[in-house]
Amino acid sequence: MHALVRELYPICRSITGDGVRQTLARLQQDIPLQVHEVPSGTPAFDWTVPREWNIRDAYVKDSRGQRVIDFRRHNLHVVSYSVPVRARMSLAELRPHLHSLPDQPDLIPYRTSYYRESWGFCLPHRQLEGMAEDDYEVCIDTTLEPGHLTYGECVLPGSESSEVLLSCHTCHPSLCNDNLSGIAVATFLARHLAGVPHRHTYRFVFIPGTIGSITWLSRNEEQAKAIRHGLVLTCLGDSGNFTYKRSRRGDAPIDAAVRHVLRHSRGEHALLDFSPYGYDERQYCSPGFDLPVGCLMRSHYGQFPQYHTSADDPGFVTPGQLADSLATVLSVVQVLEHDLAYVNLNPKCEPQLGKRGLYGAMGGTSIRDLEMAMLWVLNQSDGRHGLLDIAERAGLPFERIHEAARLLLQHDLLAPAAAAPSRAQH
């Protein structure tokens, strides 16, 4: 995953353009990704697919011909979606188009101008303060013209039509935690699921932020009705503790599943209520759709100093944190896959587990937990409680409850309930 982050890091992505295509083409080497092109001008609810933006070069040269700001050194140097510019101007004329961070004087900020025609450069504040009065040559070699919005979709059919949506944004240029970590985790999760049987259908979408999810929803209103669970994946590579932002519903099964997994993980974590600001969860959770989609991250977007700056580089994300994030999402997937309701086939008093060899069925220190898990599963399996309900009530990890149910099924003490579990009563 970290190698993928490093490989994608130099590519200049935006909400449209060849950088997005290049990124998706790389992901197609790992997963069965279908690429969609939506023409500029296409209506998407209250929005319109914008013109396509591409960049070849950009710089500011001083009177000696030296590039004092150079897109080729770092693609954050150019405000994304800058219109073409070729001009000579004084520092006073150039100054309103230069963006920096006085509080972080050695970092390049990330700035965009998607929906208002403008142009600009970003640079460290320390460099800006050192710029001399001079006659500067300014060049932004870009195109902004009718084209397409590009997004990728990977659908892994399951044995059931119910869908799990995994969404990440592809619109940021050289930013690793906020962008590439989500892409890497989603890609490796899809690669894993493509090789194993699964109950749900998993739909991965790699989309530009905001306009991408709006466009996808506008083209998939009927398909969206099949989504039973969903996660937006972002900021998953840094050393911060996990943060989960609940869906608009607040008590959807995905909210319960993520809460359970994080509660039984080793680290501290934060659970946040939904708010209509953030990433694409706010589009999936808009009232016209109200999909059960939360947002999983480590450090909260906008609340770590490297956010939207050149410090969000490959050194800021680590292989270990990416691996831990993937393992956590996989744990959530396991809950979603196995959270079923069962019926106790021997409901009148406790069945004798000893004669079936179920006491001491597993060696080591986990025997007591497993035996207690079997008792909980037998007691609560009345067709109304799913395994996650039981795990929550028992205070045991879901995987222990699932293992107990598997053993009881093998010994004909349980049978699947006719209906899926419902939390409406809790």
What residues are designated binding site?
A: 172, 178, 308
Give the whole-angstrom CA distance, residue 383 versus residue 381: 6
Are β-strands 34-39 and 201-207 bridged in parallel, bridged antiparallel, or unpaired? Answer: unpaired
Q: Any idea how long the chain is? A: 426
* Spatial contact of 3 and 180, defined as CB atoms under 8 Å apart: no
Annotated binding site for Zn(2+): 172, 178, 308
Who's near 365: CB < 8 A, 6+ residues apart?
none
DSSP 370-381: HHHHHHHHHHHT
Structure tokens at 262: 């994080």
- What are the b/e assignments for 121-137, b being 16+ CB within 10 Å? bbbbbeebeebeebebb
Sign of CA dihedral 239, 244, 271, 164: negative
User: In which residue are the tokens 């998407």 written?
Assistant: 44
Give the whole-angstrom CA distance, residue 197 versus residue 179: 29
Beta strand segments in 219-282, E: 227-233, 242-245, 269-272
Are β-strands 148-156 and 34-39 bridged in parallel, bridged antiparallel, or unpaired? Answer: antiparallel
User: 405 — alpha (psi -120 to 50), left (phi > 0) or beta?
Assistant: alpha
For residue 296, what are the β-bridge partners? 233, 244
